[in-house]
Amino acid sequence: MVDSNKPQGPEDHSRRKFIRNSGIAVGGIVVGGALGSLIPTKQKDKDQSNAEKPINYNDALMFFTMEQFQTTEAATERIFPEDELGPGAKGLGVAYYIDHQLAGPWGMNAKDYMEGPAYNAEATQGTQTLMRRADVFAIGLKGLDDYSNKKYENKFTELTAEEQDDVLQVFDVAKEFKLSGATTKQFFELLRSMTIEGAYSDPLYGGNKNMAGWKMRDFPGSQMGYTEAIMNKEFVKIEPQSLREHMG
């Protein structure tokens, strides 16, 4: 029952600091790429934002690996970028939203008809793949890197914004690049729709941080009623409210 000689704050043990301090990697002995890839790539802005924001423990991963998370963050940010109107996908926590969704029934297609046989479909017959969304996503993210490496000799997160847009464009429209078991378009559509969902769904799900997605477009979230506002000829700006407010 003795106090520790050195009580340690959480930062002392963050992965980055650990690596820096322990000397385990400094000696250049990084094993089979084991440790290197575990360190977040963009450390600078990370350090700053950590200092200011209150900690949200929900911002951790249930599904992605670090690399997948970073690729998702980069790709969604191109789809929904930060600009003068407000935060982009990254600032909104969209990649966390996607991570949590893919870990759940949505990623498992739990409510979809997944019995075979699977045939090639006409355009009007809807998706026929028996691959689950989580798998399509993982293959798609790998595809983004593969294609980036092929065309720009670098992984997706290391490309310039213009190059990233070019890669995404290819995935959105072209047929020049093939994924195993899914089309790039299938993946891209999933990526795009989940980006929009993550920007605008209730913050309960891990995206739409601080309701900033809603604030940008003056959407008031979950209000009890609009009997007054609805008859107003002027636009009425209402501070948004999340489902959390209903918990009393």
Residues between 169 and 198 with contacts to another protein, criterion CB under 8 A: 172, 180-181, 192, 195-197
Residues whose CB falls within 8 Å of the CB of residue 155, separated by 6 or more in sequence, listed in order = 71, 145, 148, 149
Chosen residue from 71, 72, 109, 148 binding another protein by CB under 8 A:
109
When asked if residue 51 is in the footprint of another protein (CB under 8 A), the reply is no
The DSSP annotation for 162-226 comes to HHHHHHHHHHHH--SS--SSS-HHHHHHHHHHHHHHHHHS-GGGS-SGGGHHHHHTT--BS-S--
The Cα 163–Cα 161 span in angstroms is 5
95 or 147, CB closer to another protein?
A: 95
Q: Which stretch, 130-138, 143-151, 152-160, contacts another protein (CB under 8 A)?
A: 130-138
Q: Is 236 in the site for another protein (CB under 8 A)?
A: yes
Site for another protein in 199-218 (CB under 8 A): 199-206, 210-211, 213-214, 216-218
If one asks whether residue 223 binds another protein (CB under 8 A), the answer comes out as yes
Q: What's the gap between Cα 27 and its chain centre? A: 33
**39 backbone dihedrals φ, ψ, rounded to 5°:** -90, 130
Site size toward another protein, by CB under 8 A: 126
Closest-CA residue to 141 (of 196, 78, 64, 49): 64
Contact range with another protein by CB under 8 A, out of 98-106, 143-151, 152-160: 98-106
Touching another protein, residues 10-29 (CB under 8 A): 10-11, 13-15, 18, 22, 24, 29
Residue 161 has φ and ψ, to the nearest 5°, of -55, -40
For residues 56 to 95, the per-residue mask of contacts with another protein, x marking binding by CB under 8 A and - elsewhere, is: xxxxxxx--xxx-x--------xxxx-x-x--x-------
Binds another protein (CB under 8 A): choice among 28, 52, 54, 162? 54
Taking the complex as a whole, the smallest distance from the CB of residue 235 to another protein amounts, in Å, to 4
- Structural tokens at position 174: 């072209």
Check residue 143 for interaction with another protein (CB under 8 A).
Answer: no
Q: Measure Cα distances from 2 to 5, 7, 10, 12, 67 in Å.
A: 9, 11, 20, 21, 40
Amino acid making up residue 246: H
- The nearer residue to another protein, 156 or 214, going by C-beta atoms, is 214
In angstroms, give the least distance from the CB of 49 to another protein: 11
